Amino acid sequence: MNELQENILRCLGAEEYHPVVAQELSRRLSVKKKNMAEFRQAVEDLAAAGKIRIGKKGRIRLSASSGFIAGVVRKISSGAAFVIPSERSPELMGGDIYVSARDLRDAQTGDEVLVRLSQTRRSGGQRSGVIEKVVERASNVFVGTYSERGGQGYVQVDGTAFDEPIHVGDPGAKGAIDDDKVVIEMLRFPTLSRRGEAVVTKVLGQRGDPGIDTMTVIHSLGLPFEFSEEVLENARVQAENFDETQLGGRQDLTHEVIITIDPVDARDFDDAISLKKSDDGHWHLGVHIADVAHFVTPGSPLDLEAQNRGTSVYLPRHVVPMLPEVISNGLASLQQGNVRFTKSVFVEFDEQGAVVGYEVANSAINVVRRFAYEEVMPLIRNPGKPSEGVTVEVRRLLELMYELAMLLRQRRFAQGALQMGIPEIEIDFDRDGHVTGAHERHHDESHEIIEEFMLAANIAVAKLLATANIPFLRRVHGDPDMLRLKNFQDFCRGLGHDLEQFQSRSEIQALIREVEGKPEGRAINFALLRSMKQAEYSPEEFGHYALAEEDYCHFTSPIRRYPDLTVHRLIGAIAARRTPVSDNMAELIQLGKHCSNTERRAEKAERELIRIKLLRYMAEHVGEEMEAFITGVENFGIFCQGVKIPAEGLIHASALTDDFYQFDPATRTLTGQRTLREFRLGDPVTVLIVSVDLDRRQLNLRISEESAVKNRKTRSPVRSTSKKVEKGEKRNSPEKPVSRSKKPASPRRKRRK
């Protein structure tokens, strides 16, 4: 071990040390700029040797001491929790650690902790433990409802993380009054024997006021929603310096027939397409992506802010962009009739759709026609019908695009790619942001055309970088756990479908096609989705299971995703015949973790705000029945999602009073011991809306008396009535449900793989 490594360990072991990121650690150790490469290598070597651990936010700490296990807390409704170990160990047999409420101390869901195993075991042999230390808090900032009593201020935090209100001191802090939504910063987390204490940092407004729901989600998840003046000024300078006539060695494609296809309400356009077919039958596809890297240089205020945000966040009727609008909706938006700078990927396919070759270029384009998705297929299906503003060349381009895309799609699935058949639902809002209904998202071959071409560009870029041995942020999707796939096989058999080779992607895809449109199709698609891992960003070569690709990355949306921007910089250097400058593996691993976390945070924000909006809608329909289907089955109850309005709620196990139900975790089934009645994923049910608790994010349901799960061979839709809940109906207090409702139509939703 060299002196620098010893200094790092000594600093991390100091009593006053709190985990920081590598850049801050280098400052504390007074590492000079010329020695930064040596410092990064030292950190990488210590992590590889298991002496230090780098957390999910990139903060560095010593590895867990002997006798302790590091992990992340997940609390449950009883007040107890499970700790998910950061690294699996043989003594845990791949399981989580149970921690009783009295042994939890003040740890909360998402906190990174050190846990000491105890001698006691739960039924089934699960290990128990005691929290010894909270290493890193998931958050110190929360949003809740302010109230006063006994001359003191209190805040009931939204959700189910804290059962009791948090004390915030003298009344009227920051001018707060009863029923205001406020932001607090925790000073002392509550335990079983000690109340929590916090300070009010911001008053958002009265609960229920317009815009409060959006601000509640933004603040509760710590979304950076305002740009500093320094960042805005950097964007203005870029706008002033942009000269579309100075191509600077770029490949001039401004006279090519190039089009965009996007949602009708899109505000930014970051991908455009050109396509030709040569005399030898080969296809020559051009995918042209907005050159955000031209405006966002490494280390600039724009770059640091974009890296911190990681991604744009698309909320109902609101966008939290990764970059200021002068860039995202202006300079880097491929608007019709304007010269724009792009990174172009040219892919050549033979007559069968096999890739023959690919190359990249720094380019300039001028989009000749912008299409909305809804406009495309009518033009392709009616080639003889004239359309205003659509030239013969543009119409021919659309026809070629359709022909190639369908060929690529057929070839991709034949090679084992997976696509789950779960329809996406869009929420309808009025001008004031209130939910008025929902509909299935429009998705036809026009979407598939763009999907196939974006996939082709992403794969080509990844293969180019991999062949050149350049480290880069990949989009990886690890192979699913074999036990989960075996459970999926058992689940399918229970529905009458054999899956002989559950490891075979082609056999799984054949099953998905077989059950399309059938009553059990939804159940099988849900079960398959639950058996899969989440995709993430990493420089490690894990491959992409669902796409059946060894090399894959995100390249096509640098306006809204930071990983794409990092790839653009590498491709730009290759196109300019320069040597690409890439971060080392340790830095890329941490950047990948950061971008994966910001992506999950964005998805959580979208789900949370949609859930709040849907709960407000459901609160107006308490006592009514609705058609629903089962989206989750646990030992404590059944999650159901409405068919017409995709709000998700919980039927608590205590509400299933007609029988004693036994839970089978392998098939995710609740079965009545006397009646043999079964509740499975995807089953249609009629449910009664019992109550809504907006602050706790809970929708409580129960099975309608008239609802029954039909025989799976003769199952028919359940009937909906309008029956009110009797007075005095007892409301359950279940574990917090997780919303799985889909994204709204507006603002613009981008493609994601």
Q: Name the token pair of 435.
A: 């939910």
3-state secondary structure of 81: strand
**Per-position DSSP letters for 334-378, written without gaps between them:** --TTSEEEEEEEEEEE-TTS-EEEEEEEEEEEE-SEEEEHHHHHH
Give pLDDT, residue 569: 97
Going by the DSSP 8-state scheme, the letter that residue 555 receives in this structure is: -
Peptide bond into 747 cis (omega under 30): yes
The HSE-up count of residue 484 (CA atoms within 13 Å, CB side) is 11
| Residue 80 to residue 78: CA distance in whole angstroms | 6
630 close to 640: Cβ distance less than 8 angstroms = yes
Interaxial angle between packed helices 521-531 and 482-494, expressed in degrees from 0 to 180 and rounded to the nearest 10:
170
For residues 424 and 500, membership in a common domain is answered with no
φ/ψ of residue 234, rounded to 5: -60, -40
Same-domain check for residues 244 and 316: yes
The C-alpha R_g of the chain, in whole angstroms, comes to 27
Count of positions (residues) in the chain: 753
CA 346 to chain centre: 30
β-bridge mates for residue 113, sequence order? 71, 134
Q: How far apart are CA 266 and CA 336, in angstroms?
A: 13
Beta-bridged to residue 671, according to DSSP, are: 662, 678
* Nearest-angstrom CA–CA distance, 608 and 721: 29
373: left (phi over 0), alpha (psi -120 to 50) or beta: alpha
In DSSP terms, which residues pair with 313 in a beta bridge? Answer: 320
What was the pLDDT predicted at 709? 44
Find the domain containing 738 and state its range. 621-753
Shared domain for 177 and 294, answered yes or no, is no
**Average pLDDT, consecutive stretches of 10 residues, N- to C-terminus, the chain (753 residues):** 86 79 88 86 85 79 75 88 80 79 91 87 83 88 94 94 91 90 95 92 90 94 94 95 92 97 86 97 97 96 96 93 94 94 98 96 96 94 85 95 97 89 81 83 91 98 96 94 87 85 87 84 85 93 94 97 98 94 87 94 94 93 94 91 92 92 85 91 91 94 71 34 34 33 42 48
Residue 41 to residue 586: CA distance in whole angstroms: 8
With residue 130 as reference, give the H or E element that holds it.
strand 127-136
CATH number of residue 116's parent domain: 2.40.50.140
CA distance 322 to 310: 7
Distance between CA atoms of residues 194 and 506, nearest Å: 56
Q: Is 652 helix (H, G, I), strand (E, B) or coil?
A: strand
Q: Helix, strand, or coil here: 90?
A: helix
Q: Is residue 365 part of a domain?
A: yes
Question: Helix, strand or coil for residue 684?
Answer: strand
C-alpha to C-alpha distance for 150 and 133, rounded to whole angstroms: 34
CATH at residue 177: 2.40.50.690
The dihedral of CA 98, 103, 107, 112: what is its sign? negative
Residue 586 in tokens: 């340790």
Q: Whose CA is closest to 629, among 553, 558, 554, 525?
A: 525
Sheet holding 52-54, edge to edge: 20-21, 59-62, 52-54
Nearest alpha carbon to residue 539 among 530, 552, 548, 555? 552
For residue 566, the SS3 value is helix
φ/ψ region of 337 (left if φ > 0, alpha if ψ in -120 to 50, else beta) reads left
Distances (CA, A) of 665 to 98, 632, 680, 732: 18, 11, 11, 23
Q: How far is CA 682 from CA 45, 506, 621, in A?
A: 48, 23, 23
The whole-angstrom separation of Cα 535 and Cα 202 is 35
Which of 488, 512, 532 represents a domain boundary (last residue)? 532
**Host H or E run for residue 260:** strand 259-262
Residue 305 lies in a domain: yes
Note whether residue 238 is domain-resident: yes
259, β-bridge pairs: 273, 369
Do 341 and 252 lie in one domain? The reply is: yes
**Three-state SS at 395:** helix
Output the CA–CA distances (angstroms, integers) from residue 224 to 203, 215, 607, in the order listed. Answer: 17, 11, 18
Which of these three, 136, 164, 196, is where a domain ends?
136
| Any domain includes 474 | no
DSSP assignment letter at 125: S
Question: Are 11 and 122 members of one domain?
Answer: no
Three state DSSP letters for 623-645: CCEEEEEEEEEECCEEEEEECCC
Q: What is the structure's pLDDT at 88?
A: 67
What is residue 613's predicted lDDT score, i.e. its pLDDT? Answer: 92
Please give the tally of structural domains in the chain: 6
Say how far apart CA 365 and CA 270 lie, in whole Å.
12
Q: Is the same domain home to 287 and 401?
A: yes
Q: What angle do CA 712, 717, 719 make, to 5 degrees?
A: 135
The predicted structure's pLDDT at residue 744? 39
pLDDT of residue 568: 98
Answer for the pair 271, 370: CB distance below 8 angstroms, yes or no: no
Let me know: does 231 contact 324? Beta carbons within 8 Å: yes
Secondary structure of residue 290 in the 3-state scheme: strand
Q: Does some domain include residue 608?
A: no
Could you tell me if residue 731 is inside a domain?
A: yes
Is there a single domain that holds both residue 238 and residue 374? yes
Amino acid 388: pLDDT? 84
Strand partners, 69: 115
Residue recorded with tokens 């003046």: 229
Helices (H), 415-559: 445-467, 482-494, 505-514, 521-531
- Using CA atoms, how far apart are residues 548 and 526, in angstroms rounded to an integer? 20
Last residue of a domain, one of 454, 489, 513: 454
Residues 75 and 58 in one domain: no
CA atoms within 13 A on the CB side of 383: 8
Specify whether 256 is located in the same domain as 307.
Answer: yes
Instruction: Please indicate, yes or no, whether residues 425 and 306 belong to a single structural domain of this protein.
Output: yes
Provide the β-strand partners of residue 692: 699
- Residue 322 has a pLDDT of 97
Tell me whether residue 609 is in a domain: no
The CATH number of the domain holding residue 46 is 1.10.10
Whether 613 is covered by a domain: the verdict is: no
**263 and 371 housed in the same domain:** yes
Looking at the fold, whether 47 and 112 belong to one and the same domain comes out as no
**CA-to-CA dists, residue 619 to 412, 623, 687, 689, 694, angstroms:** 45, 9, 15, 9, 8
Q: Which of 324, 330, 328 is nearest to 232 (CA)?
A: 324
Integer Cα distance of 549 and 459 in angstroms: 8
